[in-house]
Every structure is written in C-alpha cells, then in structure tokens.
Amino acid sequence: MSFSVTTEPRDDRQLAVTIEVDQERVDRELRKAANKVSSQYRVPGFRKGKAPYHIIVQQYGLANLYNEFVEGLGQELFQQAIEQEHIEPYAQSSLEDIQLEPLTYRLLVPLDPEVKLGDYQSLRLDEPKADLDEAEVEKRLEQYREQYSSWQSVDRPSQYGDMMTIDVRSVIAPAAEGEAETLVLDESDWDVTPDQENPMEPPGFDEQLIGLTKGETKQFVLGWPAEGQSIYAGKEATFTVTVKDVQAYEAPELNDDLAKLVGPDFETIEDLRQSIRTSMEAGEKNRLDNEYVTNVLDAVVEMSTLNYPPVVIEDQINSMLQDTEQRLRQIGIDSFDTFLRQTNQNMEEYRERLRPEATKIARRNLVLSEIVKTENLVAADEEIEEQIMAMIGGGVDEDGEMAESAKALADMLRQGAGRTMIVSQILTRKAVDKLTSIARGEPQEEAAPAAEAEPVSEPVVEPVVVEQPVSGAEQGEEAQARTEE
C-alpha cells in the first residue's frame, strides 16, 4: 500500500480523512512529472527528454513538479481510501489542507445524517378549526361591485365628478359697433367632468356646470384674468351650455343582476354569496391544513435528535435558490444575478437570509425520511403510475389515445431520475399522512413488514476536487534537498 489513512469523526457528521502518501510513491510521481516536463520543454544543454532529474528540479522547481500530479493523485487516492475504509460519503467531499512534507491530504467527508426519532406515536395535536367571518364574504361582494362599476346616466342635478355631455358655445362681444364677435368655443356632444381641484378655463366654468339637469340650457358670462397667459386675458365671453346627459360612476346594486354579471353560473345574489363562502372556506381549510402539518412536523423535530453535515442545509438553500430563479424567469427577470443587482444584494447575504427557513425545511425532511424507514412505507407500482398520469394530465385525445408527447413523458417518468422523484413524492406524502393521523389520535395499523423498497435517492460519491498546493519556501527547499541526486 503506497499510502496510509487515518480518520477522525467530527461532531457535525463529517469525517476528517487524512491520507499520507509514502515517500517512495511521491518520488515515483515526481520523476514521472520530471520526465513529462523534460519531454515538453527544452533544457539548455540537453536534448528533449534527456535532462537528468536533478537538473529538471533545478530548472523547473520542485513545487511546480508537485503541481503536475498532486490533484490527480489526490483524487485517485481518495477513491481508494474510501473503499479501503468502507466510507460512504453523503455528498461531495472537500479538501481542507495539503502538506508536501510528507505529502498529506486532509479531507472532510460528509456522512449520512443520523436521526433518532422521539416518541412520535404518542404525539397529539388539536387541529385548528376554520372560522369564516361573514364580513369577509360581504367585503368580497363589495369588491365585485367595484369591479363592475361603470358610468350610468342619472336623473338628478349634476355634481362635481360627474361626466357631462354638453353643447357649448361662447363668444366675446365686439369691442366696437360694426365689428364681428369673437368665437371662443363651439362644441357639440363635449364630454367634460367638473373638477373642484383642477378646474377648466376660464375660472368659474366648472362651477357654472354644477346643478344642471339633462335637457337644461344655461347662459352665463365669464372672464379671463388680465394677468393670465390666455390669448383672451382680460376679456369676457358669454357662454351658452345645453346639457345632453349627466352620468355618475356608480357601482351596481347588490342584487341578482350583479350575480349574473359575475358569471353565467350565478342566477341570484345568494348563489354568488354561497360560492364566495365555499371558496373562502376551502381556502381557509387549506391554509389551516398546511399549518397543522407544519406544526406536527415541527413537534416531531423537537422531540427527535438530529445530527447532519452542513451540506444538508447548503443543499436546501441551493434548492430554494433554483425555485426562486425559475419564478424570476417567469416574470421576465433573466437571471438571479440580475435580481441581486436590482435589489442591491449579493449572493452571500441572500443565502444567509434563506438559512433559517432552509434549516427548518431540511430538518423536517430528515424526520420524514426517517419515518419512511421506520414505518416501512413503500410506493406501489399502481401509485407510481397514478402519479405519472396526474403529472401529464392524462394526455388522452378525443379518441382515447395517448398523444405521442405524453407517452414519451410518461416513459421518462417511469425510469431513472423521474421515477426516483415520483417515489420520493409518494413516500413524503405517506409519511406526512402517517404523522398527522397519529397526531389526530386516529387508530393506527401496525407497521408493514420491511420490504425491499426502491431507493429514494442514491448516495453521492464524487471524486474530491484537490486544489493546487500552496507551500512555503522552506517546505519546498527541504523536499528538494532530500530528492536531489
């Protein structure tokens, strides 16, 4: 064996693995690296590939020779080490340190989480009861009234804010006998809205329109201020206004006609009111059901002992980031980096904001996974097929045949990662149902005998990424002195 392995468990379900390479193996690797360098670069005084080892070391540098092989060797030895020590990494390992004298790799290997469930069978939690506030139903009805508000003709004197349709003619009398009058306005079917805060010109025009009814004609004189910017500044005109219509922006009455406006399924206002009530009750029940599931899971987490590597939380944060990025793309934001720039955040800060919620979710998921094992829950083939059909929406055309695209998707979901995902969803749902049933105090069947279940996920065993060594000058010089011929 060309290396030795020592392991040191850490408190956070990580294993420190130290691999020390025999010097004989290091010397062989150094000479192989020197031969490679010698064949690629011309050394003064020697033909390619003919320079002696100690000359290559002097010219190229010992640390550079280490760089030629240390990463590849580290990956090779790590794979051999985990097989030799029967280590099953939970996720990708990380390099903690490299020393060159002697050549030593120190790595951190995340191990499977440990979950010791508490006495969840004795857990009892009362379910919150839905309490619908009828005032919220009436509030929703008022929202429908506002939604279907419109301009309606009214049989009353005009008010500020009404929309009036008028014919208006205004003229300025001639300054001297024999001159023609000046026409200022001559409009028919002109829609105007008298506004107290933003009145029209000349001053007083809006006020003169108030109190008029449909069909009424009114004549009045108004003038423009002498210091104003109007071309008629300092002059007066005679206005003749005939009201063609007065409309107010009004909400419809709370009656059957409103219900029919909302949709063809509603014949009466009571039909609409009951539909609103049913929808709100369903929404409240769904909210309370989710709240109850969360409370049950948190109670089981609280009574259990969980020990897991940090990567569990990091993976959950990554999953939440992926979900967020998908939603951002749906609203037209092309990347997460764009979102961070727009909100003046950086990725490190954003990850830390997600960490508390990610920790809660990850701990709940660990408990659910352990419940699946403890209760021997499995996903039957018919359940998997039912889930697949639900995901593809049936995919059946008018002739009862499944479309080719739906067939392809179904086939993909029946195997590999697609099947694993569906099995995970089914088992998670069963674990949640099991815990909530226990918490409600419902009679429980005995756990089914352990069966050979499909794996929900495979352990991640990836080669470690070994960084380039950063060695001190003394370390390199000592190694060089010992290996020179």
User: What would the mean pLDDT of 307-335 be, rounded to a whole number?
Assistant: 94
- Its CATH architecture, for the domain 150-250, is Roll (3.10)
- What angle (nearest 5°) sits at the alpha carbon of residue 81, between those of residues 75 and 85? 155
Q: pLDDT tens-digit profile of 180-197?
A: 889 999 999 999 999 999
pLDDT value of position 474: 37
Spatial contact of 69 and 37, defined as CB atoms under 8 Å apart:
no
pLDDT value of position 86: 95
DSSP string covering 449-483, please?
A: PP--PPPSS--------PPPP---HHHHHHHHHHH
Written as six digits, the tokens of 134 are: 């009828």
Half-sphere exposure of 355 (CA within 13 A, CB side): 10
Q: pLDDT tens-digit profile of 122-176?
A: 999 999 888 888 999 999 999 999 999 999 999 999 999 999 999 999 999 987 8
Looking at the predicted structure, is the pLDDT value of residue 21 above 80? yes
Q: Where are the beta strands (DSSP E) in 14-162?
A: 14-21, 94-100, 103-110, 114-116, 150-153
Residue identified by tokens 């020990």 is 307
Spatial contact of 304 and 367, defined as CB atoms under 8 Å apart:
yes
Written as six digits, the tokens of 292 are: 């109850």
pLDDT value of position 468: 33
**Helix 269-303 crosses helix 347-374 at what angle (to 10 degrees)?**
80
pLDDT value of position 318: 95
At 368, the amino acid letter reads L
Provide CB contacts within 8 A for 80, sequence distance 6+: 3
Q: How many whole angstroms from its chain centre is CA 365? A: 18
Spatial contact of 210 and 160, defined as CB atoms under 8 Å apart:
yes
pLDDT value of position 65: 93
Query: What are the beta bridge partners of residue 171?
Result: 183, 238
Q: How would you classify the pairing of strands 163-172 and 182-192?
A: antiparallel
Looking at the predicted structure, is the pLDDT value of residue 268 above 50? yes
At 476, the pLDDT band (50, 70, 90 cuts) reads very low
Q: Where are the beta strands (DSSP E) in 193-298?
A: 217-223, 236-250
Q: Where are the beta strands (DSSP E) in 262-399?
A: 305-307
Residue identified by tokens 């005084």 is 45
Phi-psi region of 86 (alpha: psi -120 to 50; beta: other; left: phi over 0): left
pTM of the model: 0.71
- What angle (nearest 5°) sits at the alpha carbon of residue 291, between those of residues 286 and 297? 130
Other C-beta atoms within 10 Å of 81: how many?
A: 22
Written as six digits, the tokens of 246 are: 């007065």
3-112+471-483 CATH fold: Alpha-Beta Plaits (3.30.70)
**Average pLDDT of the chain to the nearest whole number:** 88
CA distances (Å), origin 37, targets 50, 57, 278, 479: 11, 10, 79, 19
At 395, the pLDDT band (50, 70, 90 cuts) reads low
Spatial distance between the Cα atoms of 208 and 48, rounded to a whole number of angstroms? 105
Identify which of 60, 64, 35, 65 has the alpha carbon closest to the alpha carbon of residue 50: 35
Residue identified by tokens 């003038």 is 223
Spatial distance between the Cα atoms of 161 and 288, rounded to a whole number of angstroms? 45
At 401, the pLDDT band (50, 70, 90 cuts) reads low
At 481, the pLDDT band (50, 70, 90 cuts) reads very low
Written as six digits, the tokens of 403 are: 């479309």
Among 27-36, 43-52, 233-242, which stretch is predicted with the lowest mean pLDDT? Answer: 43-52
- Write out the H or E segment, with its range, that includes residue 257: helix 256-262
User: What would the mean pLDDT of 366-372 be, rounded to a whole number?
Assistant: 96
At 396, the pLDDT band (50, 70, 90 cuts) reads low
**Taking the alpha carbons of 412, 414, 419, 423 in that order, is the dihedral positive or negative?**
positive
Residue identified by tokens 């049989």 is 155
Q: pLDDT tens-digit profile of 336-348?
A: 899 999 999 999 9
Q: pLDDT tens-digit profile of 408-464?
A: 888 888 889 999 999 999 999 999 999 999 999 999 887 666 655 454 443 332 333
